[in-house]
Amino acid sequence: MSMYPQSIQKLIEKFSKFPTVGPRTAARFVFYLLQTPEKEIEKLADQISMLKKNIKLCSFCFNPFQEEGNLCPICSNTSRDRSLLCIVEKESDLEALEKIKKYAGLYFILGGTLPALRKEDVEKIRFKELQNRIKNPDAFNLFGANFKEIILATNPTPEGEATALYLERHLKEYNTKITKLARGLPIGGELEYADEETLSSSLESRK
Amino acid sequence: MSMYPQSIQKLIEKFSKFPTVGPRTAARFVFYLLQTPEKEIEKLADQISMLKKNIKLCSFCFNPFQEEGNLCPICSNTSRDRSLLCIVEKESDLEALEKIKKYAGLYFILGGTLPALRKEDVEKIRFKELQNRIKNPDAFNLFGANFKEIILATNPTPEGEATALYLERHLKEYNTKITKLARGLPIGGELEYADEETLSSSLESRK
Amino acid sequence: MSMYPQSIQKLIEKFSKFPTVGPRTAARFVFYLLQTPEKEIEKLADQISMLKKNIKLCSFCFNPFQEEGNLCPICSNTSRDRSLLCIVEKESDLEALEKIKKYAGLYFILGGTLPALRKEDVEKIRFKELQNRIKNPDAFNLFGANFKEIILATNPTPEGEATALYLERHLKEYNTKITKLARGLPIGGELEYADEETLSSSLESRK
Amino acid sequence: MSMYPQSIQKLIEKFSKFPTVGPRTAARFVFYLLQTPEKEIEKLADQISMLKKNIKLCSFCFNPFQEEGNLCPICSNTSRDRSLLCIVEKESDLEALEKIKKYAGLYFILGGTLPALRKEDVEKIRFKELQNRIKNPDAFNLFGANFKEIILATNPTPEGEATALYLERHLKEYNTKITKLARGLPIGGELEYADEETLSSSLESRK
C-alpha cells in the first residue's frame, strides 16, 4: 500500500498501464513531471490530448498518418509496387523495414499476434480487414492494386511464427504467392549457439 | 531519421525525456495511446495538466502532498519524533523507509546527489535549504523540533556515498550526532561475492 | 547426440560434472587442452592426481590444508580467540571472512546447506561433526577451546537461511550465545529496491 | 592474496587458464575435486593425460579424431561431396554444422580468427595450410578433391567478419566460387531490433 498523495497515485496507475512500465518506473515518471516547468507540462498534456485528433489510421494499411486524405503516404505513393503486400505485426516493424530502403511494395499492419489460435484471439488482430483488402483493394481506396506476392513479416518469435502459420493457411485461397522473411545468423551471432533452423536457412541461402 | 508523422514524432521526443525511456520505448508509448479510447486519453491529459496544481511540496521536507496547509502529513503529525531527521535523496526513498514502519522521525528530501563536489553540483541539491531547516525548524512551520540525530540515508552508490561524505563534513558545525545506514549482506547475497566493507560491517553488527 | 571422438566425449562428460560447467563449456575445455603443450598437460594431470594426497582436511574445522599435523593453520594458531566459532557453508566463505582481517576466532566448514529439512539432507552436511566439536573440542585436538559465541555465517540465500534456522534451533541446548551476520544495504545497493528486512536491519544498525 | 594451501593455489592457477574460467570458478573446481572420490580423480587425471595420445588431428581438415589412418571420418568418407569446402573457425562450429545434417561437403578448421590484419595474426591461424590444401588436396591424402565452392562459415562477429574478408581477398586467385552463410533474422529475433544488414538479407532471401 502506497503512501503517495491521491493525484500522484492515480497518475502512477495510469503510467503503469503503458507498455514496459511497472509501478516503480511510473512513480519516477510522476516525480519527473513534478520537477518539470508548468509550461512544459501543459504542452505535454496538450500533445497527448490532440494526438488522436491529429492522427488518422490509413484506410488501407492502418498506418497512422497526419496528411490529407484517407491513405497514408506509402499507400498513396503511386510509384510504389502495388503487387507486393508485406504483413507486419505493428507500426514499428513497418518503420524498421522502411528504414533499410530495400522494399518498395505496400504494407498491412495486423495490430498484434495470435498467441494461440482461439477464435477470440483472431478477432483481436485485423484478419478480416486483411482478407477484405486482399480481395478488393479498390474498396479501400487503393486503386489498381493486385497482389502477386504476400510477404509474411511477423517476428520469428513463437507468437509471430504462430501468426504466420495461421495467415499462411488462411490466405491460401487467394492463390497468391506467400513468402516469409529468411531466417539466418544475425550480425553478432555464433554458429555454435544458433538453433538448427536458423543455421540450416543460413547455409541454404548462402551466396 | 524517423518516418513517423510529426504529431507522433513530437510526442516520442517528449516521452524520450522521461527517466529510463529511450526513443523505442517512447514510440511504443505513443502507439499505445493511439489504441487507447479517446475518453481515457482525455483523463490522462487532464491528470497530467492538474498534477502540479493539486500537489504542493512540504515547506519543511519537500515531500509532495495534497492536504491542506504547508506541511505534509508526516511533518504535521505531532506524534512523530521531532528530534530525528533522516536525509534521503528522493521521494521514493522516503516511501521505502516509511513502508518498513520502523522509523518515526522526520525526513528531508535532498532532491538529488553530488556526482562530484563542484560548486554548481551543490547548488542543484537542496543543501542550503537543509542547513536553514536544521538551524531554525520553526521558521519552516515545524515548531518544537530540535534535532539530536541526523541520519544520512543516501544510497550506498558512489554518488550517494560522495553526497553522504559532503553532508557529514558540512553538517558537523551543528553539533548534532550524525549516523549512516549500516552496510551489510542483503537478502539473497553471498559472502563470497560481498565487498570487504559490506562483509566487515555485516560481521561487526552481528546479533 | 555428439559426433566428437570417444576420448573427447568422455572428457567432456567429466568436465560437465564440474560446478557451473555445461557440455558446451566442457567441450571448450577439451579443445583448449588439445592445443596445450604435452608437458603442460602432464603437469595438470599430475597436480589433479596428487591433490587429495597433498591436502588434508583439518580434524577440527574441515578446512583443507597442507602443513604438518592434524590442525589447519587457523585452528593451530594459539593466538586466535578460541571462544568464538564461526560456522560457514564452504571453504570459499571462510576465505572471504579471513580476507577482511576483522575476525580472529575459529571456523567450522559445514560442507553444504539444507535445501529442506529432511533427514537425508541433514546427513549430507557436517551437523553431527559440528555437535561433537562444540561439546568436546579437546577430542578434536583443539585444546582449551570453550565457545562463548557461535556465529552463523551461512549465506542470506533461502538455503542458507533455512540452514541457519536449523542450526539455531538445534544448537540451543549448548547454552552458547548464537549470533548471525547482520543484514543491510550492500555497497551499490539502493533503498528503493531493498527488501524490508534488509532496510530495517540497515536502519536499526545505523551508526 | 589468497590463503589457500599451495597445492590448491597452483591448481586454481591452472584451471584459471581454461577458457571462461576466473579464479573464483577455478577455486570451486578444486573444492569439487577435493570432495570427489580418489578413484574418480585418478580416472580424470588419466583421461587428461591420455587425451593428446589418443587423439590425432586430421591431416586435411585438422578435425580431431581417434580412428586409424590420417584422415578424420568426414574426410575419409568417400560418399561426401569433395567439390565443397566449408571453412570454420573452430571444432565446435564444425559440429554445429554437422548436427543440422544439411551439408555433405568437406571442412577446414582455421583454428582461430583475425582480430586485426597484422602479419603475426595471420600466422596464428592455419591460412598457409588452407592455401596448400586448396591448391593440392591430394598431397594431404584427400584424393580426387576439386573444390568448386568454398563456403566461408566464420561467425558473423566482428572478428569472424574480418577473417572472412581476408579469406575472400586472398582465396580469389584460386578461381573458385566463394560464398558466405546468409545473414537473417534468427529464431526469437525481432524486426525492430535487427540491424539493417540482417534485415535486408532477411528480406532479399525471403521464400
DSSP alpha helices (H): ranges in D147-195? 158-171
**Smallest CA–CA distance from C90 into chain B, residue:** B192
Tell me how far apart the alpha carbons of residues B50 and C144 are, in angstroms, rounded to a whole number.
74
Tell me how far apart the alpha carbons of residues D148 and B8 are, in angstroms, rounded to a whole number.
53
Tell me how far apart the alpha carbons of residues C54 and A108 are, in angstroms, rounded to a whole number.
72
pLDDT at C87 over 80: yes
Interval D80-104: pLDDT, tens? 999 999 999 999 999 999 999 999 9
pLDDT at D34 over 70: yes
pLDDT for res A121: 84
**C-alpha to C-alpha distances, D82 to D99, D104, D110, D148, nearest whole angstrom:** 19, 9, 18, 9
Residue of B10, B17, B55 best to disrupt the A interface, most CBs of A under 10 A: B55
Q: Who among C92, C189, C200 is closest to B100 (CB)?
A: C200
8 A C-beta contact, residue A76 and residue A58: no
Q: Among residues 123-152 of chain C, which lie with CB inside 8 Å of chain B?
A: 151
The torsion of the CA quartet D36, D39, D41, D45, rounded to 10 degrees, works out to -170
**C-alpha to C-alpha distances, D162 to A188, D114, D155, D157, nearest whole angstrom:** 12, 6, 10, 8
Name the neighbours of C, counting chains with at least 3 Cβ pairs within 8 A. B, D
Mean pLDDT of C153-180: 94
8 A C-beta contact, residue C131 and residue C156: no
**C-alpha to C-alpha distances, D187 to A185, A200, C126, nearest whole angstrom:** 9, 12, 48
Tell me how far apart the alpha carbons of residues B18 and B97 are, in angstroms, rounded to a whole number.
25
C-alpha torsion sign, points C99, C103, C106, C112: negative
Q: Nearest C-alpha of chain C: how many angstroms from D207?
A: 30
Q: Who among B38, B49, B95 is closest to A45 (CB)?
A: B49
DSSP state of A34: H
Percent of chain B with pLDDT over 90: 85
Taking the Cβ of residue C47 and every Cβ of chain D, the question of whether any pair is shorter than 8 Å is answered with: yes
B153: three-class secondary structure by DSSP = coil
Q: How far is Cα of residue B168 from the mean position of the Cα atoms in its chain?
A: 18
Q: Who among C2, C49, C55 is closest to D45 (CB)?
A: C49
8 A C-beta contact, residue A29 and residue A75: no
Q: What are phi and psi of C122, to 5 degrees?
A: -60, -35
Q: Nearest C-alpha of chain C: how many angstroms from D172?
A: 30
HSE on the CB side for D41, CA within 13 Å?
A: 19
For chain A, strand residue ranges (E) read 56-57, 64-65, 84-88, 106-109, 149-152, 177-180
Q: What is the mean pLDDT of chain C?
A: 93
Q: Which of C8, C7, A192 is nearest to D88 (CA)?
A: A192
Q: Which of B193, B163, B198, B177 is nearest to C198 (CA)?
A: B198
Tell me how far apart the alpha carbons of residues D98 and D18 are, in angstroms, rounded to a whole number.
26
**Smallest CA–CA distance from D90 into chain C, residue:** C31
pLDDT for res C118: 77
Interval C122-137: pLDDT, tens? 888 999 999 999 999 9
Q: C203 and B155: CB-CB below 8 Å?
A: no
D84: three-class secondary structure by DSSP = strand
pLDDT at D126 over 90: yes
Contacts of D11 in chain C (CB under 8 A): 47-48, 51
Contacts of A33 in chain B (CB under 8 A): 48, 51-52
Domains of chain D from N-terminus onward: 6-54 (1.10.8.420), 70-180 (3.40.1360.10)
Q: Which of A153, A149, A107 is nearest to A130 (CA)?
A: A107
8 A C-beta contact, residue D87 and residue D41: no
ipTM computed for the complex: 0.83
Q: Which helix (H) or strand (E) element contains residue D150?
A: strand D149-152
pLDDT for res A2: 59
pLDDT for res D104: 96
Taking the Cβ of residue D100 and every Cβ of chain A, the question of whether any pair is shorter than 8 Å is answered with: yes
The amino acid that residue B92 corresponds to is S
Residue of D6, D17, D51 best to disrupt the C interface, most CBs of C under 10 A: D51
Mean pLDDT of B21-39: 93
8 A C-beta contact, residue D147 and residue D83: yes
Q: Are strands B106-109 and B177-180 parallel, antiparallel or unpaired?
A: unpaired
8 A C-beta contact, residue C5 and residue D55: yes
Mean pLDDT of B93-119: 91
pLDDT band at B115; cut points 50, 70, 90: confident
Q: Nearest C-alpha of chain C: how many angstroms from B2?
A: 36
Taking the Cβ of residue A69 and every Cβ of chain B, the question of whether any pair is shorter than 8 Å is answered with: no
pLDDT for res B1: 44
Render each residue's pLDDT in chain A as its tens digit; 207 residues: 457 899 999 999 999 999 999 999 999 999 999 989 999 999 999 999 999 999 999 999 999 999 999 999 999 999 999 999 999 999 999 999 999 999 999 999 999 999 877 778 888 899 999 999 999 999 999 998 999 999 999 999 999 999 999 999 999 999 999 999 999 999 888 999 899 989 999 999 898
Q: C182 and B185: CB-CB below 8 Å?
A: yes
**What does the block give as the cell for C9?**
566425449
pLDDT for res D2: 59
Round to the nearest angstrom and report the end-to-end CA distance of chain A. Answer: 60
Q: How many CB atoms lie within 10 A of CB A26?
A: 19
For C39-172, strand residue ranges (E) read 56-57, 64-65, 84-88, 106-109, 149-152
| Residue keyed to cell 534488509 | C198
**C-alpha to C-alpha distances, A15 to B40, B90, B206, nearest whole angstrom:** 12, 19, 42
Tell me how far apart the alpha carbons of residues A125 and A118 are, in angstroms, rounded to a whole number.
12
Q: Nearest C-alpha of chain A: how many angstroms from B204?
A: 33
C-alpha torsion sign, points B112, B116, B117, B118: negative
Taking the Cβ of residue D81 and every Cβ of chain A, the question of whether any pair is shorter than 8 Å is answered with: no
Q: For residue D87, what are the β-bridge partners?
A: D108, D152
The torsion of the CA quartet D64, D66, D72, D77, rounded to 10 degrees, works out to -150
Task: Say what angle helices C38-54 and D38-54 make with each other, to 10 degrees.
Answer: 170
Q: Nearest C-alpha of chain B: how many angstroms from A151?
A: 21
pLDDT for res A55: 94
